[in-house]
Every structure is written in C-alpha cells, then in structure tokens.
Amino acid sequence: MELELLQKDRKRIVQLPIENENGEIETFDLAIWHKPITVDLLNEIDQVDCPDNETLATHLSLVMTRWDMTEKGKPVKPTLKVLLAQEIEFLILLKNAIFEPVYPKKAT
C-alpha cells in the first residue's frame, strides 16, 4: 500500500434535518471532504486563538477541504466566512461527522 493513500481527503456524509414548507422535517445528505485527522492537524487546531463563538467555525475551516453545497447551482467553498454565517447546530453536525471516528462516543 502506498503511503499517499493515507494522506488523501476523507469523505463523510452528514444527515441534515431540514423543515419543509409543510413544517415536516426532511433529512438531506450532505457530502463533505476533510483532511486526514493527524496529530499535526490536531495540534494546529489546538493553537487557534480566537473568541469562543468563532472556534468551531475556525476549526472546521482548517479541516474541511470541500463539500457538495451550492448556491444558485454554483459550488460554495467551506471558508471561514461561509461557516461563520451558519447556525451552530449545523456546525455541530459537521464537527461530529468529521471527529466522531477520531473521538468515538463511549458506550454507556
């Protein structure tokens, strides 16, 4: 196996609950790609110095490389500016999809 295979972006699917016009919740799948979660990347994330309300969006912008989000049919990059404009619940869903394999939930 080639080492570079371990260094490729990882793809995850995030299930997003969205309320439709009838007030019913529908689930949509959003594909996201992120850098491999390495010790170096975790150290970089730990060194982020920003206010608490920006921390999650900043961490995600360091990790995410792309997603299949569009606006008016055109791709949107997961930049810090774009992520800061999103609801916290959405950012938490992204974070969980990326970091769950690194920090799995403990069985109760």
- The pLDDT value recorded for residue 6 is 76
pLDDT in tens, 20-62: 899 999 999 999 999 888 888 777 776 766 655 688 898 899 8
User: From CA 54, how far away is CA 84, in angstroms rounded?
Assistant: 7
Angle formed at CA 81 by CA 71 and CA 18, multiple of 5 degrees: 50
- The pLDDT value recorded for residue 50 is 60
Q: Give the residue-averaged pLDDT of 101-107.
A: 65
pLDDT in tens, 4-21: 877 788 899 999 998 889
Q: Give the residue-averaged pLDDT of 101-108.
A: 64
Exposure of 94 by Cβ count < 10 A (0-12 exposed, 13-18 middle, 19+ buried)? buried
- The pLDDT value recorded for residue 92 is 85
